[in-house]
């Protein structure tokens, strides 16, 4: 029997929880913590009968962005069990696959955090298939992923925001992201010399790009951070979206500019007509700024994979400086 010493829930508690949800024949055998989660803790749970599931824990004290969660209202839109539950239901109702939610405990009687038992999807991430040697299999898989994402993006409405909390247009999508990007730029300028030296020009370009965006009244349902690591592929080569807390209605270009950054040459499976090139440039710029600051914050807050955090900040700081010259 293997249990993590730093687990959020004790062996006895987890054993009782598993049996309450699945039945007395489900005996806990193993709980192991997954590495890499920045906003929630994730554990794999295995029973003696071979059944496996995931334990998700939304503990703000373990969140690497808790400072932003507590002080920046717009940042809160990507964290929490209520968002996970809401988006799971919404996506399932629209035929978009995500891990099934077996049970959510949010009563806070014994713990200060929410936790849930969630379907375990055995397989790999989409990123693992970038170098797949079978070109036909790879082609079919990414076409399937592209179709799934396109189906999600076809869900529209006339207000942006969360499924059950639409924004009544106090401001625009681009102005929300402008505020976040400006904060990211300020943070990065404190630690990176090249960003500090170009701070004024970088900030001016941010405002200049946003000022060119024209109003719109239709918004699409997006994942909000759709990288290849947020798509699991099971053994039947069927894709599944994960880390869906941030999903909601927003400018479609926000998603597409991020997909283009993260999927590289595989973006061809997602490309579509009628995207606004001005919004694409603006959101791409915002993504680079956000990822510079995000990498630095992970580095400063002792994220386990320090090399990843360092590389993230270095790569995107280089990109944002190059983009400054490119879009002048």
CB neighbours of 292 closer than 8 A, spacing ≥ 6? 184, 188, 192, 195, 312, 313, 316, 317, 320
- Where are the domains positioned within the chain? 2-120, 124-326
Q: How far apart are CA 143 and CA 239, in angstroms?
A: 11
Read off the pTM: 0.92
Query: Per CATH, which fold does 124-326 belong to?
Result: Aminoglycoside 3'-phosphotransferase; Chain: A, domain 2 (3.90.1200)
The tens place of each residue's pLDDT in the chain, 328 residues long, gives: 444 446 789 999 999 999 999 999 999 999 998 865 678 899 999 999 999 999 999 998 877 777 777 776 554 567 899 999 999 999 999 999 999 999 999 998 888 999 999 999 999 999 999 999 999 999 999 999 999 999 999 999 999 999 987 665 678 999 999 999 999 999 999 999 999 999 999 999 999 999 999 999 999 999 999 999 999 999 999 999 999 999 999 999 999 999 999 999 999 999 999 999 999 999 999 999 999 999 999 999 988 889 999 999 999 999 999 988 875 5
CB neighbours of 101 closer than 8 A, spacing ≥ 6? 84, 85, 88, 116, 117, 118, 119
The reported pLDDT for the residue numbered 214 is 96
Token pair 């990007």 is at which residue? 181
Query: Per CATH, which fold does 2-120 belong to?
Result: Phosphorylase Kinase; domain 1 (3.30.200)
The reported pLDDT for the residue numbered 2 is 42
């Amino acid at each position: 029997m293997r249990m993590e010493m730093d687990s959020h829930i004790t062996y006895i508690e987890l054993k009782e929880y598993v049996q309450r949800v699945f039945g007395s024949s489900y005996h806990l055998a193993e709980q192991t913590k997954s590495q890499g989660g920045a906003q929630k803790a994730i554990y794999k749970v295995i029973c003696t009968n071979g059944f496996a599931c995931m334990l998700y824990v939304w503990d703000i004290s373990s969140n690497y962005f808790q400072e932003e969660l507590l002080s920046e209202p717009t940042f809160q839109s990507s964290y929490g069990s209520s968002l996970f539950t809401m988006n799971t239901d919404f996506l399932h109702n629209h035929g978009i696959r995500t891990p099934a939610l077996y049970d959510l405990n949010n009563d806070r009687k014994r713990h200060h955090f929410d936790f849930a038992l969630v379907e375990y999807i055995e397989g790999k991430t989409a990123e693992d298939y970038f170098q797949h040697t079978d070109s036909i299999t790879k082609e079919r898989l990414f076409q399937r992923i592209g179709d799934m994402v396109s189906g999600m993006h076809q869900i529209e409405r006339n207000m942006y925001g969360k499924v059950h909390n639409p924004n009544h247009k106090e401001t625009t999508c681009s102005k929300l992201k402008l505020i976040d990007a400006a904060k990211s730029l300020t943070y990065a300028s404190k630690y990176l010399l090249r960003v500090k030296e170009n701070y004024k020009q970088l900030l001016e370009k941010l405002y200049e790009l946003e000022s060119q965006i024209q109003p719109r009244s239709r918004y699409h349902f997006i994942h909000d951070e759709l990288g290849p690591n947020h798509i699991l592929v099971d053994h039947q080569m069927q894709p599944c979206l994960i880390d869906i807390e941030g999903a909601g209605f927003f400018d479609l270009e926000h998603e597409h500019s991020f997909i283009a950054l993260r999927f590289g040459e595989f973006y061809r499976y997602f490309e579509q007509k009628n995207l606004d090139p001005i919004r694409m440039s603006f959101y791409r710029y915002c993504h680079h700024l956000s990822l510079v600051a995000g990498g630095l914050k992970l580095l400063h807050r002792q994220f386990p994979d320090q090399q990843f955090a360092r590389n993230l900040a270095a790569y995107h700081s280089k990109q944002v400086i190059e983009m400054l010259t490119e879009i002048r």
